[in-house]
Structure 1
Amino acid sequence: MDYKDYYKVLGVERKASQDEIKRAYRKLARKFHPDVNRGPDEAEAELKFKELGEAYEVLQDPEKRAAYDQLGENWKEGQDFRPPPDWDDGFEFSGGGYTQADPEQFGDFFEELFSKRGGFDGRMHAGRQAHAPAQDHHAKIVIDLTEAYNGGSRDFTLRKPELDKNGHIVLRERAIRVSIPKGVAEGQHIRLAGQGSPALGGGKAGDLYLEVAIKDPPGFRVEGRDVFMELPITPWEAALGGRVAVMTPSGKVELTVPKHAQTGKKLRLKGRGIPGKIPGNLFAVLKIVIPPTESEKARELYAEMAREMDYDPRAGQGV
């Protein structure tokens, strides 16, 4: 997927005000509008007009623009791109998701960043009536695997984009304390009542919904409520089998490694995944680790094993 430099598309600086972005878009939209570009250049103008629409869809909206800016300034137009993990962690936005725009009218880059959360326009409109319902806010928080298992209380800092008096975006930070329920899973939401937008006319404030992401510790991978952990074993444990001690997120256990085990074999610990009404499972994924050969004695042992066993793992490949 190619990175899109929306500022370059509109021909504006990254520090441009919202009014400058609007003026740049209107000027270019008139120039490349399909109604004024008939003939051999029609297809190229239509493509450019679509590209302008995508850039403006993001940059004209303070929340989408601030989210886009979180990616940083070092990406180049057309560069191969994948969003950094949890790039939107702690980013607070209003409404029910990132955009109402049909992602099919734009490209893969737009869809990857702005169409995952459902539709919304991202703004409070001045024309809303008094006592209109307040908007809910949404944000993503990243918790540790142990917190998913055990729950707890933790402070997070959220960043909410706002426009200053000059039409530039600033991020307002606020600290919140969150009670993390035991057994919360990836993608679940924690609701904080009354912490969204205030209602016009003194009505009930909106709520804040926190989407949970779980940070995989080194050697672990979470899929739903199931947890996969890498379990290093020696070649003799793999060949002969035996009992090994394993430290899991829920405590120490002993596992039986079967004889002739291979790297990649999964040993299931039923119900040892993330807790819940139906708890997940924990899978210990075996990885055979070769001891170092730094000493002469170690090298002699390997040489003796090679002579005695006379084993070729590639014999069936015809080489």
Structure 2
Amino acid sequence: MARDFYDVLDVSRDAGSEEIQQAFRRLARANHPDINRDPAAEERFKEINEAYRVLSDPEERRKYDRFGEDFRKVPDDWEQTVGAGVGGRARGGPRYGPASGVSSADFDDLGGGIDLEDLLGGMFGRGRARSGPIAGADQEVELPLTVEEAFRGGPRQVTLTGTDGPRSYTVTIPPGVTDGQRIRLAGEGGRGVGGGDPGDLYMVTRLLPHPLFRVSGRDISVDLPLAAWEAALGGSVPVPTPAGGTKVEVPPGSSTGRRLRLRGQGMPNPRGAPGDLFAEVEVMVPPRPTDAERDLFARLAEVSDFDPRRDTRRGQP
């Protein structure tokens, strides 16, 4: 049975793309048939090449992690057609079929944006002909957004600094983008070699901490400070949202911790129902009451039989 791809590259199953590429560079150089005269080196080189082809491609890697050695039989749209309880990883961890043949004559066709002239240290001379195009590698960068930016969406100028100098892009952010969502810029990843197609660039959104809003999926929570009389008597109270201010109806007798739901006021969802906004009641009292306020609170204490430490009315009605 063929070896596990992660074992071939000597990386863990949660290895990132940079770690996988570094492992490939090291092993490919050590086992290339033009460098290593061991008769078994060419087979190891084929195995390393095949492992890297799969693990450097995000979609192929997901299929391999899910279906093991049968991943080649799985259609590209498997994530839309395979349910969570169908398929599954092969017992004992992912395995794969025989490595595709790669001879020393076409060793340049490695994919993933690896420059073999750099990989092999230019030891074959500048005039060595390449056997075929090399596709560029997909790349990922994080895109920090405020909650308001994620809520509204729209164009955003992004400048990245790479080995070729700064590159600027206009990224269209979908309204209601969530933390960790990937925005694809086709053809803006690693450069291809010898006419190979460039890879794609993925912007991974990261929502920045906000002084007011807490985001969970598409739902948003916000604190709603209330004066004691507002909480006791209820009424219409202003509440902030990423779209601007609105009002919420506070039921009489609301205590700290009560969550008031504003349906559809959370993050937009271009493909379905938007999230909700939850205003969480926080009852406040005057930190330095005036004489008049003190008299009124004293009068309330005299006429009320409410005891929050024992009364059955504690909490929400």
TM-score range, shorter chain: 0.5 to 0.7
Which structure has the larger Rg over C-alpha atoms? 2
Q: Match for residue 131 of structure 1?
A: 133
Q: Is the Cα contact below 8 Å between 1:216 and 1:222 reproduced in 2? A: no
Indicate which of 152, 155, 159 corresponds to 2:154.
Answer: 152
Deviation at 1:198, TM superposition (A): 0.2
**Residue correspondence of structure 1 range 112-131 to structure 2 within 5 A:** 124=114, 126=116, 130-131=132-133
What secondary structure does 2:245 align onto? Answer: strand
Deviation at 1:61, TM superposition (A): 5.7
What secondary structure does 2:194 align onto? Answer: helix
1:263 aligns with 2:269: no
What secondary structure does 2:274 align onto? Answer: coil
Q: Is the Cα contact below 8 Å between 1:293 and 1:299 reproduced in 2? A: no
Q: Match for residue 16 of structure 1?
A: none
Which consecutive unaligned segments of at least 5 residues does structure 2 have?
1-10, 23-54, 62-111, 121-130, 312-317
Q: Match for residue 180 of structure 2?
A: 187
Indicate which of 302, 312, 316 corresponds to 1:307.
Answer: 302
Equivalent-residue separation in structure 2 for 1:200 and 1:123 (angstroms): 7
What secondary structure does 1:198 align onto? Answer: coil
What secondary structure does 1:259 align onto? Answer: coil
Q: Match for residue 281 of structure 1?
A: 276
Q: Matched residues, percent identical?
A: 38
1:238 aligns with 2:219: no
Equivalent-residue separation in structure 2 for 1:232 and 1:254 (angstroms): 13
Deviation at 1:196, TM superposition (A): 0.7
Equivalent-residue separation in structure 1 for 2:153 and 2:56 (angstroms): 28
Deviation at 1:199, TM superposition (A): 0.7
Equivalent-residue separation in structure 2 for 1:286 and 1:246 (angstroms): 11
What secondary structure does 1:303 align onto? Answer: helix
Structure 1 residues 124, 289: CA separation in 2 closer, same or farther (over 3 Å shift)? farther
Structure 1 residues 307, 158: CA separation in 2 closer, same or farther (over 3 Å shift)? farther
Aligned length: 201
Q: Is the Cα contact below 8 Å between 2:259 and 2:279 reproduced in 1? A: yes
Which consecutive unaligned segments of at least 5 residues does structure 1 have?
1-52, 65-93, 101-121, 163-170
Deviation at 1:279, TM superposition (A): 1.1
Q: Is the Cα contact below 8 Å between 1:226 and 1:280 reproduced in 2? A: yes
1:305 maps to a residue whose letter is L
Q: Match for residue 196 of structure 2?
A: 203
Deviation at 1:228, TM superposition (A): 1.1
**Residue correspondence of structure 1 range 1-319 to structure 2 within 5 A:** 124=114, 126=116, 130-158=132-160, 174-276=167-269, 277-315=272-310
Equivalent-residue separation in structure 1 for 2:138 and 2:113 (angstroms): 11
Query: How much is the aligned-residue C-alpha RMSD, in angstroms?
Result: 3.5
Q: Is the Cα contact below 8 Å between 2:234 and 2:250 reproduced in 1? A: yes
Q: Is the Cα contact below 8 Å between 2:134 and 2:197 reproduced in 1? A: no
Equivalent-residue separation in structure 1 for 2:20 and 2:143 (angstroms): 21
What TM-score, normalized by structure 1, do the two folds share? 0.54
Q: Is the Cα contact below 8 Å between 1:230 and 1:286 reproduced in 2? A: yes
Equivalent-residue separation in structure 1 for 2:183 and 2:226 (angstroms): 39
